[in-house]
């Protein structure tokens, strides 16, 4: 472990993945409680598709990633009037359509394959100082906004109709929620990758909801699970020469299974 | 003397081009206890949404007394009990719309929530998780949340759905007490005629996009029920309570 901390890129990998892991594990509680886990994967895939488009046209992949994600944010936060198509199926459509589009963009982009592999599976070990600073600053900002907006976001997640009847502008707050999610996802996938971002949005929150018995403890447990899985995953990937992102996902998956089995054995 | 708090002046509601309710003309006064009834799809929920401001009138004028505050009790199945929230946590949420968005509730707000839980007879369950409560107790939590901000009107959507008969009576008695002792106007949507005829003062019947308001539950007769439901229904009285029977 000591050896790991002597290497500069490991410092950066640990800091960035902990920051990303902590915030997504926090937001993930809302995502799981709102039963919108597939919004997470669809937005991540949209971000990847935008990135791929940026590579194809050779202009600012991050900006395109952000544009694509924001288009998804607008789509998912709209109250759809079409009753024949469910919101769930639109999310599924978005995922499938943007996955295939991303592959088409990559197939036609010069050197696209090497870059997109990083976006899909992530590479936290190759992050630059600039990326580290920018990502950390944006994620801290998003964390502060979430702390400020907690009261509105939890109300919206629990019972949007009653919130609306009480005069809360639920459409605006819903958009703000997805906007923060979209911006952080489009930034997060560039270092953590689609798979890790999605798993941060789901697994720590699932684990926390199994263990905790109130909202504060659920958020705290989720963040702790995300951060501990990150540190353990980064260490294991270093020690065993494994890919960083997938090792973190595996560790957090094991945490969830351990929590589930413990509950099953204790009968709680 | 009647004082109107909500006035429908030729109000129509609909979704897109589809009109659900048209040219509604009626008032709700500050002492009202009105039951909204009608067949499935008659527009009960649409009317409720209109009253709450969740749906804007497609035509006409819907006037509400300035500063009128609503306490809303949605259908219980609209509430997801996956959330690890206690009864008190949920009731405190009833105060959130009155707080600035950045403000967290303090002990004063929790005190208000505990008082609302006491009114609805839930003091013993104040710190129990909502998901661990029975259907009847969950409904009481939602009523407590609706009254915690001292609303002028309590709006309930099928408050006794899926409840056993004892819970149904307990919930309706709680609503009646809130109306009588605290002077809260009550607007209640229910498809359960037996509940409606025993508690409400006025009945609004929705059918074919129109509304018919009966000045008292006693105005319901076999004939009017036939016109409403096209079925042979009779109202009988047993031990002072009205029972609607299908003949």
| A212 CB within 8 Å of a chain B CB | yes
Residues of A in contact with B83 (CB under 8 A): 33, 157-158, 215
For an interface test with A, give the residue of B16, B53, B101 to mutate (most A CBs within 10 A): B101
Subunit contact A215:B89, Cβ cutoff 8 A: yes
pLDDT reported for residue A4: 66
Mean pLDDT over all residues of chain B?
Answer: 90
B104 interface with A at CB cutoff 8 Å: yes
Q: Is this structure's pTM higher than 0.80? A: yes
CA A44/CA A72 separation, integer angstroms: 10
Nearest CA in chain B to A210: B84
Residue A118 has pLDDT above 80, yes or no: no
Instruction: Pull the structure tokens for residue B112.
Output: 């208000």
> Quick one: what percent of chain A has pLDDT higher than 70?
91
Residue A77 confidence (pLDDT)? 76
Residues 19-58 of A with CB under 8 A from B: 33, 35
The answer for B 51-90 residues in CB contact with A (under 8 A) is 52-54, 70, 72, 74, 78-80, 82-86, 89-90
Chain A residues close to B97, C-beta within 8 Å: 155, 163, 166-168
User: What average pLDDT does this structure show over B210-237?
Assistant: 82
Q: Which residues of B touch A149 (CB under 8 A)?
A: 101-102
Count Cβ atoms within 10 A of the Cβ of residue A144 and give its class: 0-12 exposed, 13-18 middle, 19 or more buried: exposed
Residues 6+ apart with CB under 8 A from A264: none
- pLDDT value of residue B16: 81
Q: Closest-CA residue in chain A for B71? A: A166
Which residues in chain A have Cβ-Cβ distances shorter than 8 Å to B72?
161-162, 165-166
Chain B residue with the nearest C-alpha to that of A209: B84
Lowest-pLDDT choice from A38-52, A103-117, B165-179:
A103-117
The secondary structure of residue B129, as a DSSP letter, is B
Q: What angle do CA A223, A226, A227 make, to 5 degrees?
A: 85
Instruction: Please give, rounded to a whole number of angstroms, the shortest distance from the CA of A82 to a CA of chain B.
Output: 11
Q: Does B127 reach chain A within 8 Å, measured CB to CB?
A: no
ipTM of the shown complex: 0.89
Rounded-to-integer distance, Cα A152 and Cα B96, Å = 8
DSSP A157-185: HHHHHHHHHTT--HHHHHHHHHHHHHHHH
Q: B13 and B58 in contact (C-beta within 8 Å)?
A: yes
Kindly tell me if the per-residue pLDDT of A123 is higher than 90: no
In B, minimum Cα distance to A148 occurs at B102
Q: Where are the beta strands (DSSP E) in chain B?
A: 4-15, 18-29, 33-38, 59-64, 70-73, 153-157, 185-189, 202-207, 210-214, 233-238, 241-246
pLDDT, position A248: 93
Average pLDDT (B153-176) is: 91
Number of Cβ within a 10 Å radius of residue B131: 14
Query: Is pLDDT at A120 greater than 70 in this prediction?
Result: no
In this predicted structure, the answer to whether residue A245 has a pLDDT above a threshold of 70 is: yes
Q: What is the pLDDT of residue A143?
A: 97
Q: Is A155 on the interface with B (CB under 8 A)?
A: yes
Cβ <8 Å between B84 and A148: no
Give the pLDDT score at A124: 74
Residue for token pair 């997805």: A178
* Segment A196-217, tens digit of pLDDT: 999 999 999 999 999 999 999 9
B70-73 vs B153-157, strand pairing mode: parallel
CB A221 within 8 A of CB A212: yes
User: How far apart are the CA of A83 and the nearest CA of chain B, in angstroms?
Assistant: 11
């Amino acid at each position: 472990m000591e050896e790991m901390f002597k290497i500069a890129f490991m410092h950066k990998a640990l800091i960035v993945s902990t920051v990303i892991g902590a915030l997504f594990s926090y937001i993930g509680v809302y995502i799981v409680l709102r039963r919108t886990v597939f919004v997470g994967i669809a937005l991540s895939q949209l971000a990847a598709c935008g990135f791929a488009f940026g590579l194809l046209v050779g202009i600012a992949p991050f900006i395109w990633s952000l544009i694509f994600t924001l288009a998804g944010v607008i789509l998912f936060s709209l109250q759809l009037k079409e009753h024949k198509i469910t919101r769930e199926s639109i999310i599924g459509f978005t995922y499938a359509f943007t996955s295939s589009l991303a592959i088409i963009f990559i197939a036609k982009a010069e050197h696209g394959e090497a870059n997109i592999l990083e976006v899909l599976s992530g590479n936290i070990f190759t992050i630059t100082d600039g990326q580290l600073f920018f990502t950390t600053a944006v994620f801290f900002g998003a964390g502060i906004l979430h702390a400020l907006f907690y009261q509105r976001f939890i109300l919206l997640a629990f019972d949007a109709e009653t919130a609306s009847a009480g005069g809360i502008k639920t459409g605006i707050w819903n958009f703000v929620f997805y906007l923060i999610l979209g911006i952080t996802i489009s930034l997060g996938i560039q270092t953590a990758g689609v798979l890790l971002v999605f798993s941060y949005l789901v697994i720590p929150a699932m684990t926390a909801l199994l263990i905790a018995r109130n909202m504060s403890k659920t958020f705290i447990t989720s963040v702790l699970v995300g951060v501990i899985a990150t540190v353990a995953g980064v260490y294991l990937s270093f020690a065993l020469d494994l890919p960083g992102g997938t090792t973190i996902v595996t560790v957090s998956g094991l945490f969830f299974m351990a929590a589930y089995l413990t509950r099953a054995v204790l009968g709680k | 003397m009647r004082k109107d708090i909500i006035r429908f002046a030729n109000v129509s509601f609909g979704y897109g081009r589809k009109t659900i309710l048209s040219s509604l003309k009626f008032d709700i006064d500050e002492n009202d206890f009105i039951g909204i009834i009608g067949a499935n799809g008659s527009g009960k929920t649409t009317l409720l949404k209109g009253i709450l401001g969740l749906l804007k009138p497609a035509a006409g004028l819907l006037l509400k007394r300035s500063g009128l505050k609503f306490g809303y009790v949605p259908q219980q199945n609209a509430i997801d009990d996956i959330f690890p929230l206690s009864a008190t946590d949920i009731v405190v949420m009833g105060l959130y719309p009155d707080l600035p968005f950045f403000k967290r509730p303090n002990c004063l707000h929790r005190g208000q929530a505990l008082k609302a839980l006491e009114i609805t007879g839930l003091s013993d369950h104040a710190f129990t998780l909502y998901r661990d409560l029975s259907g009847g107790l969950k409904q009481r939590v939602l009523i407590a949340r609706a009254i915690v901000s001292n609303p002028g009107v309590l709006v309930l959507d099928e408050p006794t759905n899926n409840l056993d008969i004892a819970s149904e009576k307990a919930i309706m008695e709680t609503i009646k007490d809130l109306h009588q002792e605290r002077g809260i106007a009550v607007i209640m949507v229910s498809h359960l005629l037996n509940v409606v005829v025993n508690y409400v003062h006025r009945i609004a019947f929705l059918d074919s996009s129109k509304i018919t308001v009966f000045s008292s539950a006693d105005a319901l007769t076999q004939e009017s029920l036939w016109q409403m439901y096209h079925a042979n229904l009779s109202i009988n009285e047993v031990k002072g309570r009205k029972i609607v029977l299908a003949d």
